[in-house]
Amino acid sequence: MSTTRRDLIRGLAAGGAVAAVGADAVASERPQPPADAVGMLYDATRCIGCRACVTACKKANNLPLELYDPPEDLSGETKNIIKVYEDENTRSYVKAQCMHCLDPACTRACMIGSLQKREHGIVTWDPSKCIGCRYCQVACPFQIPKFQWETNNPKIVKCEMCLHLIKGGGQPGCCEACPVGAVIYGPYQELLADARGRVERHPDRYWPQGSPKIYGESDGGGTQVLYLSAVPFSDLGLPDLGEEPAGHLAAAVQHGAYKWGIAPVALYGVLAAAVWRSHRSSGTGRD
Partner 1 sequence: MGDREHDPRTTGGLQSRLDRRDFVKACMAAAAAVGLPATVGLRFAEAAAAGLKPSVIWLHFQECTGCTESLLRTSHPDVGELILDLISLDYCETLNAAAGHQVEAALHEAIEKNDGKFVCVVEGAIPTRDNGIYCQIGGRTAQDILTDVASHAAAVIAIGSCASWGGIPSADPNPTGAVGAPEILKGSGKPVITIPGCPANPYNLLGTVLQYVTLGTLPALDDLGRPLFAYARVIHEDCPRRPHFDAGRFARQYGDEGHRLGHCLYALGCKGPETHANCSLLSFGEVGAWPIGIGHPCFGCTEQAVGFRKPLHAAAELPADAYPPIEPEHGTSATAWAGVAGLVGGALLGAGFVASKKLGETEEKS
| Site of interaction with partner 1 (CB under 8 A) | 48-56, 65, 67-68, 70-73, 81-86, 91, 93-94, 177, 179-180, 235-237, 281, 285
Are 134 and 115 spatial neighbours (Cβ–Cβ below 8 Å)?
A: no
Of residues 27, 58, 37, 68, the one with CA closest to residue 251: 27
- 56 or 102: whose CB is closer to partner 1? 56
> How many residues are listed for the chain in this entry?
287
Gap between the Cα atoms of 107 and 135, Å rounded: 10
Q: What's at 122, amino acid-wise?
A: I
What is the closest distance, in whole angstroms, from the C-beta atom of residue 77 to partner 1 in the complex?
14
What is the closest distance, in whole angstroms, from the C-beta atom of residue 91 to partner 1 in the complex?
7
- 56 or 249: whose CB is closer to partner 1? 56
Gap between the Cα atoms of 181 and 209, Å rounded: 22
Q: What's at 136, amino acid-wise?
A: C
- For residue 232, the SS3 value is coil
- 53 or 123: whose CB is closer to partner 1? 53
- 92 or 224: whose CB is closer to partner 1? 92
What is the closest distance, in whole angstroms, from the C-beta atom of residue 270 to partner 1 in the complex?
14
What is the closest distance, in whole angstroms, from the C-beta atom of residue 4 to partner 1 in the complex?
35
- 57 or 115: whose CB is closer to partner 1? 57
What is the closest distance, in whole angstroms, from the C-beta atom of residue 66 to partner 1 in the complex?
8
Are 103 and 31 spatial neighbours (Cβ–Cβ below 8 Å)?
A: yes
